[in-house]
A and B are shown apart, each in its own frame.
Chain A
């Protein structure tokens, strides 16, 4: 687990080549221009980034979570915002692959894997964030169809994505009354809010998804009625690893640039890198990232093996890696002095991008709740 296999090294190398050629040189401009690079995403699909965890028969790469965290860390060294969107797109693909029937898999997965269609994940609502089981979007059964009404909030990729995995209430209050649906952008009654103005993650759109009497045939339901919350939570276990890996990548890039900057920057008659005080700070940044990486890989392996502790480990990894990644990126900004605050240097962008990783895919407070519930349960 601690060292990469030859295959994983080759996956990382291919991803790095792509990231350095196609993503990293544009990251600052995409952030500044709020540009969502659909052409680059389609190119990324050529590598297999459209369906990392999707089985090969449906056009996916059929890789493990342990492979995935290596890939997403490398991608995020170029741009955490694009890597983050790709993580979400892959969460959607995994959910359809895992819970869809043969017809649903054949219908949606090839397009998602090729990234001809993009996917978004719709759980959060204006009035239900961390308390996701309290969601209010309704899917009412009318004959052979469902009619969806409600609003989904903070939806990454919204507007640009074709497919939306939407959690909606088909039954009673609480988690057991929720079902999962695949909604198409072109379904009558689907509309979008304006592109939100955000602190970071600007290279991808974030919008409300408004569902106003959206009528869906029953074959749009993913899994059985009442399975929605379980599907959503299982999807998030993997999604949290993806975001954790993206934090590692963003922070790694910031650390790397800090070393280069300090080697280059002279003050008080010598390169700053000669200062032992600064060396120690770099050493701490690298050490904390390595610890976070080890936890992320452990959690990924647990999820691959079906370890009963996987959910808690994913929550720990997400909390620890996103907090650590943010701290390291912020420290990198400090080491860059005033230049770190300039957009041109790309460091402040990484800080802004990584800030949201502590909030989305379940806030880090909810991650602690998941870990604590398990602990308390064990003590009872």
Chain B
């Protein structure tokens, strides 16, 4: 039977653009171009490699986001994923990670899955906890932050590299897996892939399709509230240590005071 892989991807504001908050303190998406989160490209790449190694596999890319989020799906489809699912609903505006995980869980169940793949974090919110919450909601094992991953005989195995040691992890499918930026460089979409992407099916869903009430998501349903947002302070010139015989010592003292050493 075909291995069903669902890759959760996020459409994020381009980090090289000038990013702002809107009046309700959510990200102002109109002011800046968006793209497929680079950390999610690693998940797409691993999905493609797992699918290549399997006899038969189908990769669905799933995103929750506004109309433009289709661009993130399109990029993943041009890299080689088979189909897309786009959850879009005005009531989703301002949804936090808890709400997003609910939407993703329902959508993943709607699609049907053996393996859910995620990036290690989004490049905008950088929460990094979504894969764990998603696994909890789905009631399946979570194998997170892998830098190496493989699937065989209904089992996912992988390596998680920590500061002190590397762990070999294993779980029965179905499972939720997240991969790091060390898992292998994502491929460039090929021209053929780009032209083929527009012919691949993308299913559009809203909250009612997934049986989710509007008050479970959005700004109102969020478990966290942004009280205030301030502009990043202008960069100031750093501390300059002049060597007048005691330079080395002063440098060391500075590093100690900043807890670098």
Contacts and interface: CB of A to CB of B under 8 A. Distances in A.
Interface of A: 6-7, 10-11, 14, 17-18, 46-49, 52, 56, 61-63, 67, 71
Contacts of B195: 7, 61-63
Contacts of A17: 188
B74 A10 contact: yes
B194 A14 contact: yes
Q: What band does the interface of chain B fall in when counting residues whose beta carbon is under 8 Å from A?
A: 10 to 19
A18 B191 CA distance: 12
Contacts of B249: none
Contacts of B189: 10, 14, 47
Contacts of A48: 190-192
Interface in B85-118: none
Nearest to B189: A14
A14 B187 CA distance: 10
Contacts of B75: 10
A18 B197 CA distance: 19
Given A7-B198, A10-B74, A10-B78, A63 B191 contact: yes
A8 to B, nearest CB: 9
Given A14-B188, A61-B191, 6 more contacts: A10-B78, A14-B191, A48-B192, A61-B192, A62-B195, A67-B191
A175 B168 CA distance: 70
Interface in B43-98: 74-75, 78
Nearest to B197: A10
Nearest to A17: B188
The secondary structure that dominates the B interface is helix
A52 B198 CA distance: 19
A67 B192 CA distance: 12
A114 to B, nearest CB: 12
Contacts of A63: 191, 195
Interface string B169-200: 00000000000000000011111101101100
Contact of A46 (B190, B194, B197, B198): B190
A13 to B, nearest CB: 8
A7 B198 CA distance: 9
B194 A10 contact: yes
Contacts of A11: 191, 194
Nearest to B194: A10
Nearest to B187: A46
B196 to A, nearest CB: 10
A113 B195 CA distance: 17
26 contacts: A6-B198, A7-B194, A7-B198, A10-B75, A10-B78, A10-B189, A10-B194, A11-B194, A14-B78, A14-B188, A14-B189, A14-B190, A14-B194, A17-B188, A18-B188, A46-B188, A47-B190, A47-B191, A48-B191, A48-B192, A49-B191, A52-B191, A61-B190, A61-B192, A63-B191, A71-B191
A14 B191 CA distance: 8
A348 to B, nearest CB: 28
Interface in B184-221: 187-192, 194-195, 197-198
A51 to B, nearest CB: 9
A196 to B, nearest CB: 32
Contacts of A18: 188
9 shortest A-B CB distances, which residue pairs? A48-B191, A61-B191, A10-B194, A48-B190, A14-B189, A18-B188, A47-B188, A47-B190, A14-B188
Contacts of B74: 10
Most buried by B among A14, A52, A67: A14
Contacts of B190: 14, 46-48, 61
Nearest to A18: B188
A62 B192 contact: yes
A46 B191 CA distance: 9
Contacts of B188: 14, 17-18, 46-47
B244 to A, nearest CB: 30
A62 B188 CA distance: 18
A186 B190 CA distance: 31
Interface centre among A18, A46, A61, A67 (most CB of B within 10 A): A61
A63 B187 CA distance: 20
Nearest to B75: A10
A6 B198 CA distance: 10
Contacts of B197: 10
Nearest to A44: B188
Given A10-B74, A10-B78, A46-B187, A56 B194 contact: no
Contacts of A46: 187-188, 190
A52 B195 CA distance: 12
Nearest to B195: A7
Nearest to B74: A10
Nearest to B198: A7
Nearest to B185: A21
Contacts of A52: 191
B127 to A, nearest CB: 26
